Structure 1
């Protein structure tokens, strides 16, 4: 199973590292530089607001379905058409709550218009994730890998034409949203065809079954609560910034968005681990196979680069921000410097939380596969309360930096609690050697990072040398062992 995991992880990472960095740095960043921090902050706040009721679109069905179909492949054909009807009904419920919430917080006409398309996009995203959960559950990891980058590939093509093809006189943030709608719609059509063909089911033959809907909702409810709580503490920051800071809210939300972009990109890689691991864990637990070695392998492969990326981002935060973002039209040099300094401080803190997020993706996936939703929901509720409380305290004085502090504290608190619960439930043997290596690795990479800033080369060369030295250091202390990985790939 470790061999299957490594091979499919390699394909998934290669495809995503080919497509998504270009999307983030070539398209998404260019869009923000083109429209400006305030207009992008306007979009980013509404985008995150559309996420707040995302749970009503999914209701935990995707995670439940992935686990359930992985353990019971024969149920796919029976469940498929019913769940599609259920998701359409949930979309209608989502629209009621989303636009009710928008009316309650007094969104403007411009915000409502863009929210319409973002709400449709959220439905399309949830539908794609549901369809992909079937592919992963059936161990069709190669197909799922290609589907995972399809929407971004289409977005790159569409946005590239709009940005650089002289098709429009002035690029507006609305075009960015419309491009998302088009690319997601095409992806839904292609992925639906693949899944229906795999299930050997007639396309568009949908079933209405109230007892089935109630059964699925009842079984998915714990997953739904978990997704709701996690969405709130992961997405509420920019909404609170935009609402609490009045006229400056959109601007500070834009600063937070610019700093959050690289964390979001890094999270995509961690998310890929979870996508692969959930069906594998679910099947291994059902067959009562040992998962301890797979946990150690997957966590080591994720936490090692996470630590390097986090510390490198901290030491080179301002250089990275200045490389990614340009001065806007009408923006003074002093205002640009302030924006870059503030963004870099926020960015440095946010990237530190990547280590905690990576830990959570591994251990929460195991708890989900094992059905320990009660623990996860209690932890997530604690995280949500902590995050909102910290934001209420810190935002008025520290603005976007305060939100970053709230995120850092919340993510590490949740990660530590999850690790403790997993060790308690699964009775894993205490691997003191592994912990010792981690304790050496973190300050070692920090020392390498600090030393790299004193070198006489350009910051780009210093950064590359730091990452290379940190990678070699991980092998020197045998935190990562190329020989072990080769043996797993060759012999399993």
Structure 2
């Protein structure tokens, strides 16, 4: 069980660090949306969506491949870092060119074009940080990427208040992304040199060929995932309006912030899973089952509260101008448990060298997402886009879960899916009546304790889990 302890320790460190970033992202989204309004926030979201789609071309799966390979053989670090940085230089030129062509085709107004180009510069700078972060993750130094993320969020957070105080325009917000990206790159580089050595040029074209050849399934996954994540906003901007993009993205931004939770957990889990696929498959099965259970019970609680308190959340964060986002948020909350479990399924398949299957699933997800959005957005606008998001997640989870159950580890559907859902249903009823009697915030807090109690009653949290949590609190987790 030492590996489980190590995963939980890494996750705990990441969680403590990332919770700060989570809070900052909450306030960044709140004040940016309120200050810019639905139209301005929509324009910023368009820029983020377009660069989000093409930003994957700065990586093309190389980051995930390097984490996996370096975790298995730490001696590859020096060889990988310099060659990947050089590859990313050429990929960055390709990315900016693709963005320029797309902006010209869609004929966006001049102000949106400039906004897109500024955000694109930030995306390219971030691309040069990722090889350093990949190395830190491979060495299981999870706190370093977390601190880097906090630095980025603190800069943007501070800049948002500067923008509001001095009444800056939307382009100032784009400049904040560039400044934060540069700060993160400098931080990652300095920490890398401090912990390891200065990355010296060691060009190996054979390695380039191997990396590109082996990374393409990850690249297809990344491209498909980027399309899935951002195409709805892009199509809304073309088929409806910037205001519709702003309304949709206010709710969608909350969903994206929630991505942080499984991302933290998986960042700690992935290097360990990659090792145990080669050395200890029995431990890999235990890690998968534990991770599945923890992600399921966490996500179901978030899903319940997201639906019950959607109106309160939207009013608190974005104000009355975004009331149309309430139904969008409630629909998107249906996807939260699936997103959490999808992150686990995708990473365990990547850790077990099944990236080709993952790439097929990602392509099917992207095709379904684009097709349904093209049909539903013209008629149902952002409501249609929300429904498509949920349906796409359902498809992806169904395919990966069935594949893992058939090819690797058969997990009990009753124990790990139906029982948590039953606990969620019982809790939802109790929290709903609490909401009628108490202020919503207190209803949510009491609901959390009720949810934990019901988990114990249904034995979804057992003695082993309790002992593990006690060790975390005492800080005596074994290495």
Match of 1:313 in 2: 306
Which deviates more from structure 2 when the two are superposed, residues 249-258 or residues 128-137? 128-137
Match of 1:332 in 2: none
Q: Indicate which of 456, 463, 471 corresponds to 2:444.
A: 463
Post-superposition CA distance 1:314-373 (Å, at most 9, x none): 11111211111235xxxxxxxx4xx40x20000011122111100111111000011111
Post-superposition CA distance 1:252-284 (Å, at most 9, x none): 100011111211111111111221111111011
Match of 1:428 in 2: 410
Residues 365-444 of structure 1: matches in 2 within 5 Å? Answer: 365-428=347-410, 430=412, 432-444=414-426
Q: Indicate which of 319, 323, 341 corresponds to 1:326.
A: 319
Post-superposition CA distance 1:100-121 (Å, at most 9, x none): 1111111222122111111111
CA distance in 1, matches of 2:461, 2:394: 23
Structure 2 residue 272 is the aligned partner of structure 1 residue 280: yes
Structure 2 residue 179 is the aligned partner of structure 1 residue 182: yes
Q: Indicate which of 478, 484, 488 corresponds to 2:459.
A: 478
Q: Structure 1 unaligned segments of length 5 or more: list them.
A: 328-335
CA distance in 1, matches of 2:384, 2:62: 34
CA distance in 2, matches of 1:480, 1:126: 40
Structure 2 residue 132 is the aligned partner of structure 1 residue 135: no
CA distance in 2, matches of 1:33, 1:436: 40
CA distance in 2, matches of 1:306, 1:487: 20
Q: Report the Cα offset of residue 42 of structure 1.
A: 0.8
CA distance in 2, matches of 1:162, 1:302: 37
Match of 1:260 in 2: 252
Task: Work out the number of aligned pairs and report it.
Answer: 470
CA distance in 1, matches of 2:93, 2:413: 49
Structure 2 residue 346 is the aligned partner of structure 1 residue 364: yes
Post-superposition CA distance 1:428-463 (Å, at most 9, x none): 3546444452242232233223323332x2222222
TM-score (norm 2): 0.93
CA distance in 2, matches of 1:486, 1:176: 46
Match of 1:96 in 2: 97
Match of 1:269 in 2: 261
CA distance in 2, matches of 1:345, 1:436: 26
Match of 1:451 in 2: 433
CA distance in 1, matches of 2:149, 2:162: 22
Counterpart of 2:334 in 1: which secondary structure? helix
> Contact 1:27–1:160 at 8 Å: present in 2 too?
no
Q: Classify 1:261/1:427 alpha carbon distance in 2 versus 1 (closer, same or farther; 3 Å).
A: closer
Structure 2 residue 245 is the aligned partner of structure 1 residue 250: no
Counterpart of 2:436 in 1: which secondary structure? coil
4+ residue segments displaced more than 4 Å: none
Residues 141-156 of structure 1: matches in 2 within 5 Å? Answer: 141-156=142-157
Match of 2:45 in 1: 44
Residues 160-171 of structure 1: matches in 2 within 5 Å? Answer: 160-164=161-165, 168=166, 170-171=167-168
CA distance in 2, matches of 1:326, 1:430: 43
Post-superposition CA distance 1:151-202 (Å, at most 9, x none): 11232233334434xxx2x1322111111111110110110122234332x3
CA distance in 2, matches of 1:124, 1:71: 28
Q: Classify 1:231/1:482 alpha carbon distance in 2 versus 1 (closer, same or farther; 3 Å).
A: farther
Counterpart of 1:272 in 2: which secondary structure? helix
TM-score (norm 1): 0.91
CA distance in 2, matches of 1:119, 1:162: 20
